[in-house]
C-alpha cells in the first residue's frame, strides 16, 4: 500500500488514526459482520468502483476441497495506478465461523492476524515487504471433517501511492468452495498425473492392496476416507520415486479399530496433484 497507510479504529467513543504499512487492519474484508476500508473516515470511496480487476484463485479442481488437504489461494489485483497494494483474506464456513488453517508461503511478506471485535477469525495480510506487489499466494489447510461450503473473503487496497487517503481504490471479492471427498480425481495414466491403478480388498485376511503410479518423484500421501469425508487413516506419507508402487493396508483406522462396512475413498496426493478411487468394504 502507500508509504503511510491510515486505518481507523473506534476506541471508547474516540477515533484513533493508525498509520501503518505493515498490514491491513482486521475485519475489513466485507465478510458477514465486517466493513471495508472504503468506509468513511478511512478511504471514503465506493467499493469495487474503479477500473482495476481483482480475483481469487483456488488450486483445487472444480472449486472443491477434501478434508485435511492443503490448497493454494492467489489474490490478484490489476492496478494501473502503482504497484503499491495491500490485501487481506479470511475463510468462513456456512455459520460464518473461521474455518481451516492458514499457512504462510512467504512469511517475510505476509502475516496472520486475529480479529478484534471478532477474535476467533484469522486473517492473512501483507507486511511492509509485501505491499509492492499485485499478487499474493497463501496456503489454506482444510478442516479434518466436512464443514460444508467454505467461503473466502478478500479485500485489496489498490493505491495511487500519493501518501494520502485520496485517490485509492478498494476492492472486495469472495469465492465459495464445496466439500467433496473425490475432489481432483485423476484415475488413469492418460490424465497425465498420478493414478491409482487398483484397490483390492482381501476379505480373508482383512487387508486392502493398493496399486498406484507416479509420473515423477514426489512427496506422497496415500490416505483413506469414509465417503462422508471423515479421514480414516494415512497409509503412506513421504518421498517416493516415479514409477509403480503397491502397498497393503491392514484396514485399521488411526485409532486402531477396524473400519466398518461401507463406501470409502483412497486418495493419492503427489505434490500438487490428486487422484482418488472409491471402494466398498468389506
Radius of gyration of the chain (CA): 22
Within a domain: residue 244? yes
Looking at 179, 206, 241, the residue that finishes a domain is: 179
Residues 47 and 149 placed together within one structural domain of the fold: yes
Mean pLDDT of the chain: 84
Indicate whether 1 belongs to any domain.
no
Percent of the chain with pLDDT over 90: 54
Q: In this structure, are 260 and 171 located in the same domain?
A: no
The parent domain of residue 200 ranges over: 189-281
Point out which residues pair with 115 in neighbouring strands.
none
Residues 246 and 170 both lie in one domain: no
Look at residue 184 and tell me if it is in a domain: no
pLDDT of residue 89: 98
Residues 6+ positions from 190 with CB-CB distance below 8 Å:
none
Q: CB–CB of 91/151 below 8 Å?
A: yes
- Position 50 scores a pLDDT of 87
Question: The pTM is what?
Answer: 0.68
Domain co-membership, 157 together with 237: no
Query: Which CATH number belongs to the domain containing residue 261 in this structure?
Result: 2.60.40.4070
Give pLDDT tens digits for 223-270. 998 887 788 999 999 999 999 999 999 999 988 899 999 989 898 988
Report which DSSP code applies to 280: E
Q: Are residues 162 and 49 in the same domain?
A: yes
- 8 Å CB contact between 213 and 243: yes
Q: Looking at residues 68-77, what average pLDDT do you find?
A: 90
Q: What is the CATH number of the domain that holds 39?
A: 2.60.40.4060
Whether omega for the bond prior to residue 282 falls within 30 degrees of 0, making it cis, is yes
Residue, of 2 and 229, whose pLDDT is higher: 229
Q: Residues with Cβ < 8 Å from 204, sequence gap 6 or more?
A: none
Predicted confidence (pLDDT) per residue in 131-182, tens digit: 889 999 999 999 988 899 999 999 999 888 776 667 789 999 999 998 876 5
Model confidence at 8, pLDDT cuts 50, 70, 90, reads: very low
Residues 195 and 174 in one domain: no
The verdict on 139 and 68 lying in the same domain is: yes
Cβ-based neighbour number of residue 238 at 10 Å = 8
Residue 41 shares a structural domain with residue 130: yes
Residues 61 and 166 in one domain: yes
Domain boundary among 128, 161, 179: 179
Q: Say how far apart CA 130 and CA 136 lie, in whole Å.
A: 8
Domain for residue 273, yes or no? yes
Residue 224: which of 195, 193, 181 has the closest Cα? 181
- Give me the number of domains the chain comprises: 2
Amino acid at each position: 500500500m502507500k508509504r503511510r497507510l491510515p486505518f481507523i479504529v473506534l476506541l471508547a467513543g474516540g477515533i484513533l488514526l493508525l498509520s501503518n504499512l505493515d498490514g491491513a487492519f482486521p475485519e475489513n474484508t466485507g465478510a458477514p459482520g465486517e466493513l471495508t476500508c472504503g468506509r468513511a473516515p478511512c478511504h471514503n470511496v465506493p467499493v469495487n468502483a474503479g477500473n482495476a480487476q481483482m480475483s481469487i484463485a483456488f488450486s483445487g479442481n472444480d472449486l472443491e476441497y477434501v478434508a485435511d488437504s492443503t490448497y493454494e489461494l492467489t489474490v490478484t489485483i490489476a492496478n494501473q495506478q502503482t504497484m503499491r497494494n495491500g490485501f487481506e483474506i479470511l475463510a468462513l464456513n456456512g455459520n460464518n465461523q473461521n474455518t481451516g488453517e492458514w499457512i504462510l508461503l512467504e512469511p517475510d511478506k505476509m502475516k496472520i492476524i486475529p480479529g478484534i471485535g471478532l477474535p476467533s477469525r484469522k486473517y492473512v495480510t501483507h507486511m511492509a515487504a509485501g505491499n509492492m506487489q499485485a499478487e499474493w499466494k497463501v496456503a489454506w489447510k482444510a478442516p479434518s471433517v466436512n464443514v460444508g461450503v467454505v467461503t473466502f473473503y478478500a479485500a485489496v487496497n489498490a493505491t495511487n501511492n500519493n501518501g494520502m487517503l485520496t485517490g485509492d481504490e478498494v476492492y472486495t471479492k469472495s469465492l465459495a468452495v464445496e466439500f467433496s471427498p473425490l475432489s481432483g480425481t485423476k484415475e488413469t495414466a492418460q490424465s497425465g498425473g498420478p493414478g491409482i491403478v487398483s484397490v483390492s480388498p482381501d476379505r480373508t485376511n482383512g487387508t486392502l492392496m493398493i496399486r498406484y503410479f507416479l509420473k515423477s518423484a514426489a512427496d506422497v500421501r496415500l490416505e483413506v476416507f469414509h465417503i462422508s469425508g471423515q479421514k480414516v487413516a494415512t497409509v503412506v506419507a513421504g518421498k517416493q520415486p516415479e514409477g509403480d508402487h503397491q502397498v497393503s493396508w491392514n484396514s485399521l483406522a488411526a485409532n486402531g479399530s477396524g473400519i466398518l462396512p461401507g463406501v470409502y475413498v483412497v486418495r493419492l496426493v503427489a505434490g500438487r496433484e490428486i487422484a482418488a478411487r472409491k471402494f466398498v468394504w468389506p
